[in-house]
Structure formats: structure tokens, C-alpha cells
Amino acid sequence: MEIFLIKLLQFVLAISLLVLLHEGGHFFFSKLFGVRIEKFYLFFDPSIWKWKGSIFKYKPKNSDTTYGIGWLPLGGYCKISGMIDESFDVEQMKQPEQPWEFRTKPAWQRLLIMIGGVLVNFLLALFIYAMVLYTWGDEYIAVKDMTMGMKFNQEAKSYGFRDGDILIGSEKGDFKDFSADLFRDISEAREVRIIRDGQPQTINLPGDINLLSMLKSTPNFCRPFIPAEIDTVLPQSPAAKAGIRKGDKLLAINGIAIDSWNEFTEQTGRLADQMIAATTEADSLRLRTATIVFQHKEALPSRGEGQGVGLPDTATVVLTPELQLGVGMTSLLSYYEPTKVSYGFFESLPAGVKYGWNVLGGYVGDLKYLFSSDGAKSLGGFGTIGNLFPPVWDWHMFWLMTAFLSIILAFMNILPIPALDGGHVLFLLYEMITGRKPTEQFMIRAEYVGFGILILLMVVANLNDILRWLGYM
């Protein structure tokens, strides 16, 4: 429950900040051009029976704007006079035009009002990235420094990769760290440079490997080789009862040899698949009973090398119901020193812009997979977004995730879908090019269509979250 509340708090804080600033962009340009703002709300406030739906509202003296917080946490809105928006206030549009209304302003002013929110979100993301680099710098383990190489799945091996290959780069440049960008670069690469057995080599690739398949396959297309050495042992755990100690190395599970944590998690994952079909306690106990072969630290010649000189030990253990052995795994930081880069204030600004631009480019490039069946299944709602935040309060990660969500919010809002800012921008560009303004009846119908599309996408995304939680996806 504590983890859930921490993630929820981070999610609500980030979304609230982004929504307020997004709507603040519309607010700023509206006020700049003398357009009246009727309501400025965080969250929506649909009426329930006689209740108007506001948790809080305040209208300053001599002001035309009511500020408030609604009860439905699905975003927020800035109600602009004389504009057809998600409020569907058609009665106002039937009244005579007023000089303070959106509809009476020149098209170029209306265009700036509509892109104000997107502009603020995009600039905010770049600024946050810059300040994160200025405050914390950039710290990562360079792929080229992973001298134990990678583990590859069968698809990767069919292209010519081998376990232990050290990835260097592609025709686009050197790889940085092990992240989604690495997979994206490999998926689009025509050739990948590697080090194999100490010698540089080049692997030719088709240039159009399916990125979604690379990420979703089990095991993944590639993952860093991490020796199956024990970092910690939990008291009274199956591992502790079997005599496994910190620094020991796992050699096999259920007769299947392993040399890395990659293979260990793969085998426990297969047990988890079999557990789904278990109908009795006896079936569950049988699957949880595992034979573990391990070697004590003192019998190993040196950390991460070989299987040791002493005889291995064998133990039969009963894994926890979650199929846990009760050990802490070593990580990349157990073997490699991270690369650290610091930035001065003025250095951080262009670096933040470059970082944010790369994030946006990767996100936009990946949208093509949305129109596949696997892509539709990968859509996530509020649960998926909330789970992006860490289980502990970490300001560094909080700001990185807030910047990422700001970029997503900016891009999604500029899509040419009616009811989004991008839909209004599309119609305004049409008006500026042709000199003809779409009719109010057309705009109302378009708003309904766009709103329906958004509701459908929201239902699908959150339904996917529910199905994942229930174990059906």
C-alpha cells in the first residue's frame, strides 16, 4: 500500500503541474490578446445532481475568471469565451459576437492561443531536462564498457550475434547506455559494430527489425550478461535454508545449466507459466520444489570468471509462492564503473534541448507500432503511467518522468484530432490558407467526433491495464 501511495502521489503531482502549466499557456495568450477566460480549472467538474462538481472554486473581485478544482481527475481546462470546446457551450455561440470573445479575434491570434499549451509543455520539458543535467549530471554505464558482453535470444543470433559480443555502435554512431534507444538503434541499423573475442567485427542487419518484438520477446533481443552471483541472502529464505551465502554463484536450476541471472530469471519465468495451470496445492508444491546447484565464493577463482575449482553443492529448495529464491542479484554496478558527466548552467541548456529532442524523436518514431495488434495491446492508461514512477520518492526520477510526460502531453495535444489543440490548429490553418472559416455546426460535430475518439482510446488503454492486472495480457 505504501508503494502504491508513493507512486500515486508522484503521478498526481506531476500531472497536476503539467495540466496547470498547459492550460496556463492558453490562459497567457488569451489574456495577451484580450480574450475573456470564464473558468480555469484543474480537473473536470461535471455536475452531479444539484452539486456543481467543484471541490474548490474562487472568483476574484472584478475578475471574469472563476478558478477551481474539479472532482474528476482527468486533466483540466481553460474555458475561453466564444470558443467551441469540450464544454459544448452551444448556447453562448448563439449570442451576438462580443469583442472579448475568441471567435472575433484574427486567425493568427487564435492560432497562438491554441498552441500556447503545447508550447509551454514542450519548453517545460526541455527546461526540466536541462535542470536535471545541471543538478545531477548524467550517469550511466557505457555499453562499450560492458566487457562481459551481452546475452542474445534466438532471433538476435539468427542475425549473427553471439553471446558475449560487446556492442559498440551502428552507422548512426556509438551506443550510449543500455536503454530503449539501444534497441531502437539496432532495429533501424544496417550494420552494427561489435567486439568478439577481442577483435572488432561488423554484423549486417536489414534495417527494419520490429522494435516492439525486440522489447516484448522473452528473453529480450539482447540484455547485459550478469553472472549469477549472490549479492545478498534474505534471512529464513529458501536460499538461506539451503546454505547459500553472499558471493556464491548459481550453476544450475532443475538440471538446466545457467551462467547468468538472465537465464535464471528465464527459467523461473517458465515455472511461473506452468503455475498458471496448477489446480491443486500438490501441483503448486511440485513446481515450487527446485534443485539448485551452486558454488561457494571461496571455491571460485575470481568473481565473474568460470565455475570455480571446488566441487559444487546441490540443494533441493521450495521456492516462495512468488517463485523467489530469496536472494539479491548482483547488478551491472557490481562489475562496472559508471560514466559520470557534469554540466555547468550554460552547458546544461543545449544539452537539455538535445536530450529532450532525442526523447521526442524516439517517442514519435515508435508510434508507428501503435497501429499493429501488439501495439494496441501495449497501450496503457493511468495505471501504466503511474507505474513509470519509482516505488520510493526520488526527485531525480520524478523530474525525468515529469519531463517525459510533458513531451507526451505536448505531442498528443498537437495531433490533428478534433477536441484536441491540434484539431483546432488544423481548422485554423485551413481558415488562414483558404480564407474560409468552418461553420459553427461543423465545429460542434467535429468536437463530438474528436471527444468520442478520445473516450474510446481512454477506455482501451485503461481496459488494457485491467487485463494486465488480471493476468490476461
Q: If we measure between CA atoms, which residue out of 206, 124, 193 comes closest to residue 158? A: 206
Predicted confidence at residue 374, as pLDDT, reads 61
| Cα 126 from Cα 472, distance rounded (Å) | 38
Query: Which grid cell is 277?
Result: 495451470
Question: Digits of tens for pLDDT over the chain (473 positions)?
Answer: 677 788 888 888 998 999 999 999 999 999 999 999 998 988 888 777 666 778 888 889 888 899 998 888 777 888 899 887 766 666 677 778 889 899 899 999 999 999 999 999 999 999 999 999 999 999 999 999 999 999 999 999 999 999 999 999 999 899 999 988 999 999 999 999 999 999 999 999 999 898 888 888 878 899 999 999 999 999 999 999 989 999 999 999 999 998 888 888 888 888 888 888 888 888 888 889 999 999 988 766 554 455 555 678 898 988 998 889 999 999 999 999 999 999 999 999 999 999 999 888 887 777 766 666 665 666 666 667 777 787 788 899 999 999 999 998 999 889 888 878 898 899 999 989 998 888 878 887 888 788 788 788 777 777 776 766 666 55
CA 150 to each of CA 154, 159, 203, 213, 300: distance values in angstroms, whole numbers, following the listed order: 13, 15, 15, 18, 22
d(CA 52, CA 313): 70
User: What is the DSSP annotation of 187-234?
Assistant: HH-SEEEEEETTEEEEEE--S---HHHHHHSSS-SEEE--B-BEEEE-
User: Could you give the count of Cα atoms lying within 13 Å of 308 in the half-sphere of its Cβ?
Assistant: 21
Strand arrangement of the beta sheet that strand 256-257 belongs to: 256-257, 249-253, 289-295, 313-318
Cβ-Cβ contacts under 8 Å for 118 (sequence gap 6 or more): 22, 25, 410, 413, 414, 421, 422
Contacts for 276 with CB less than 8 Å, ≥ 6 apart: 471
User: Angle at CA 333, nearest 5°, toward 342 and 240?
Assistant: 150
Between CA 159 and CA 176 the distance in angstroms is 22
The closest of 116, 119, 170, 121 to 144, measured between CA atoms, is 170
CA distance 159 to 205: 7
Is beta strand 191-196 parallel, antiparallel or unpaired with respect to 72-80?
A: unpaired
Q: 154-199 pLDDT, tens per residue?
A: 999 999 999 999 999 999 899 999 988 999 999 999 999 999 999 9
Residue 203: phi and psi, rounded to 5, are: -110, 125
All residues at 6 or more sequence positions from 297 whose CB lies less than 8 Å from its CB, including other chains: 245, 246, 247, 248, 249
Q: Kindly report the pTM of this predicted structure.
A: 0.80
- Region of 244 please: left (phi>0), alpha (psi -120 to 50) or beta: beta
Stated as kind and residue range, the H or E segment containing 9 is helix 2-32
